[in-house]
């Protein structure tokens, strides 16, 4: 085998053989295939695509590059969720303890934010003492004692994907659907969960901007999971508007705790319950009632034990940014649009996100919303508050926001987009 022949096959719109795929993934992981060669292959895949057989073999090769976890010793069925990322997407935080409170084990391997999308680990690290990195033995122990764990994936899990993702990020090939699907599913299958629910975002704040692209990605991942023996279902969910009323790390933790306490914004609660029901159904726990677990405080109890098990203090005061800037409504009327991408970019520029994986983030930075589409606003009332420790960032963040919302005359009809748009199984 040689890299050039593999590149040429896909460049010329051919189908990669199983042997070519196995070889190129293994050789790239070992350093035998250079970054520039894998970059050329990734671009050829972006432009020319892959069929289901190729994607399945590519995913299997990435799984084979590392270890596979086994939760067979647990007394509970395992079920997991993966989101393709969005703005204000704090759903994992209330969802994992909620599903655990209903009898499942939730091994949630999560990531960090990059660009305008937030990362679950960054959010949780705003809780004093909380640790994202734990060993496999610690992960199993937390799962066994609390029912849920949210942590970083270990270096031994699909190392080929870790190397390839970093390359895709700097070569303009992140959007390749076969590579997105295999990246997500290689880690989730290697993780060893018995069931998986995919939250595929669609809209301005998502990587998939159109319902057609989101549907293609979801269908591809459901097929990969099913072919690997993992019960898999996908929900296509709206990301044209930020989820909830916050975009930022500590801000979103605070809002998540409100949901666990029985409150919180309706869209966050609705999506959390929809995903919980799918996860419990996939795990064979059809009779469990997640709405009851929110109302009776059992989900909150699991949250507190889960955070404490990884060194966090669930009672600690969350970080608050030193500086705030309020944006007021320029006119009265009905708020008809609030663009998720623009809000995400503003939060990122305030310090809530990073441009490179090694960049630090500010725990208290972000955007707090005071109205959502469909709400009536009056001239001069606060629309959003920007939070940061570094006030010089306000000017740069404000440049993302002039076209981020629309206010129509009072009485203008408004129809909200459903949070869950489609289900694919």
- Structural domain count of the chain: 3
157 and 15 in a common domain = no
383 and 298 in a common domain = no
* pLDDT at 358 exceeding the cut of 80: no
The 10s digit of each residue's pLDDT in 296-324 is: 999 999 999 999 999 999 999 999 999 99
Mind giving me the DSSP string for 356-380? STT----TT-EEEES--TT-EE-TT
Radius of gyration of the chain (CA): 22
207 and 106 in a common domain = yes
Who contacts 2 (Cβ-Cβ below 8 Å, separation ≥6)?
A: none
Whether residue 198 lies inside any domain: the answer is yes
Whether residue 93 lies inside any domain: the answer is yes
**Closest to 16 measured CA to CA, from 51, 60, 64, 63:** 51
DSSP structure class, residue 404: S
- Tell me the mean pLDDT in the region 254-267: 97
Looking up residue 336, the CATH number of its domain turns out to be 3.90.1170.30
Residue 402: C-alpha distances to residues 310, 329, 370, 383 (Å): 41, 11, 17, 12
Q: Which of 278, 309, 340 is the last residue of a domain?
A: 309
Terminal Cα-to-Cα distance of the chain (whole angstroms): 37
254 and 193 in a common domain = yes
44 and 152 in a common domain = no
- Residues catalogued as catalytic: 82, 161, 168, 183, 187
83 and 43 in a common domain = no
Q: Do 344 and 242 touch, CB atoms closer than 8 A?
A: yes
397 and 287 in a common domain = no
Whether residue 318 lies inside any domain: the answer is no
134 and 183 in a common domain = yes
Looking up residue 44, the CATH number of its domain turns out to be 1.20.970.10
123 and 14 in a common domain = no
Q: Is 276 helix (H, G, I), strand (E, B) or coil?
A: helix
Whether residue 74 lies inside any domain: the answer is no
177 and 226 in a common domain = yes
The backbone region for 110, taken as left when phi is positive above 0, alpha when psi lies in -120 to 50, beta otherwise, is beta
Looking up residue 217, the CATH number of its domain turns out to be 3.40.1030.10
Q: What is the mean pLDDT of the chain?
A: 95
Beta bridge partners of 233: 197
Whether residue 380 lies inside any domain: the answer is yes
- pLDDT for position 63: 95
272 and 244 in a common domain = yes
Distance CA 107, CA 85 (A): 18
Q: Do 255 and 90 touch, CB atoms closer than 8 A?
A: yes
Q: Which of 281, 309, 337 is the last residue of a domain?
A: 309
Query: Alpha helices, DSSP H only, in 125-197?
Result: 136-146, 159-169, 177-191
290 and 192 in a common domain = yes
Whether residue 22 lies inside any domain: the answer is yes
Whether residue 425 lies inside any domain: the answer is no
Q: Tokens at residue 53, please? A: 């057989």
Whether residue 258 lies inside any domain: the answer is yes
| CB burial of residue 38 (10 Å; 0-12, 13-18, 19+) | buried
- pLDDT for position 334: 98
- pLDDT for position 112: 85
Q: Which of 261, 284, 309 is the last residue of a domain?
A: 309
Who contacts 263 (Cβ-Cβ below 8 Å, separation ≥6)?
A: none
The 10s digit of each residue's pLDDT in 364-407 is: 999 999 999 999 999 999 999 999 999 999 999 999 999 999 99
Q: Tokens at residue 312, please? A: 């966090």
| CB burial of residue 254 (10 Å; 0-12, 13-18, 19+) | middle
Give the HSE-up count for residue 403: Cα atoms under 13 Å, Cβ half-sphere. Answer: 1
**Domain housing 239:** 79-309
The 10s digit of each residue's pLDDT in 96-151 is: 999 999 999 999 999 888 778 889 999 999 999 999 999 999 999 999 999 999 99
Angle between helices 298-309 and 136-146 (to 10 degrees): 160
- pLDDT for position 422: 98
The 10s digit of each residue's pLDDT in 192-246 is: 999 999 999 999 999 899 999 999 999 999 999 999 999 999 999 999 999 999 9
- Tell me the mean pLDDT in the region 272-289: 97
């Amino acid at each position: 085998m040689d890299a050039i022949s593999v590149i040429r096959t896909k460049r010329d719109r051919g189908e990669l053989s199983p042997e070519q795929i196995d070889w190129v993934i293994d050789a790239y992981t070992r350093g035998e295939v250079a970054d520039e060669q894998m970059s050329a292959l990734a671009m050829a895949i972006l432009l020319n695509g892959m069929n289901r057989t190729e994607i399945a073999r590519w995913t299997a090769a990435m799984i084979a590059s590392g270890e596979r976890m086994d939760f067979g010793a647990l007394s509970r069925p395992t079920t997991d969720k993966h989101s393709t990322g969005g703005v204000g997407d704090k759903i994992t935080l209330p969802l994992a303890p909620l599903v655990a409170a209903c009898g499942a084990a939730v091994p949630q391997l999560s990531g960090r934010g990059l660009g305008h999308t937030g990362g679950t680990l960054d959010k949780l690290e705003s809780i004093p003492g909380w640790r994202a990195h734990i060993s496999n033995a610690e992960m199993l122990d937390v799962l066994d004692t609390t029912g849920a764990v949210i942590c970083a994936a270990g270096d031994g899990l699909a190392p080929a994907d870790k190397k390839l993702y970093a390359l895709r990020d700097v070569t303009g090939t992140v959007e390749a659907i076969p590579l997105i699907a295999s990246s997500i599913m290689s880690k989730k299958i290697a993780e060893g969960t018995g069931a998986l629910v995919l939250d595929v975002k669609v809209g301005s704040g998502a990587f998939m901007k159109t319902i057609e692209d989101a549907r293609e990605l979801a269908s591809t991942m459901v097929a990969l999971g099913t072919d690997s023996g993992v019960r898999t279902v996908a929900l296509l969910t709206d990301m044209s508007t930020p989820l909830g009323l916050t975009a930022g790390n500590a801000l979103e933790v605070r809002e998540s705790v409100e949901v666990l306490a029985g409150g919180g914004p309706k869209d966050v609660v609705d999506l959390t319950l929809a995903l919980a029901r799918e996860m419990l159904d996939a795990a064979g726990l059809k009779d469990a009632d997640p709405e009851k677990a929110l109302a009776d405080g059992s989900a909150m109890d699991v949250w507190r034990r889960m955070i404490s098990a990884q060194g966090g203090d669930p009672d600690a005061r969350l970080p608050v940014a030193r500086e705030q800037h309020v944006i007021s409504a320029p006119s009265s009327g009905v708020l008809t649009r609030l663009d998720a991408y623009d809000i995400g970019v503003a939060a990122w520029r305030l310090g809530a996100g990073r441009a490179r994986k090694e960049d630090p983030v500010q725990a208290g930075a972000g955007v707090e919303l005071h109205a959502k589409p469909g709400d009536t606003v009056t001239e001069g009332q606060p629309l959003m508050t920007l939070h940061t420790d570094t006030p010089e960032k306000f000017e740069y963040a404000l440049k993302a926001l002039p076209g981020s919302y629309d206010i129509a005359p009072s009485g203008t009809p408004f129809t909200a987009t459903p949070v869950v748009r489609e289900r694919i199984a």
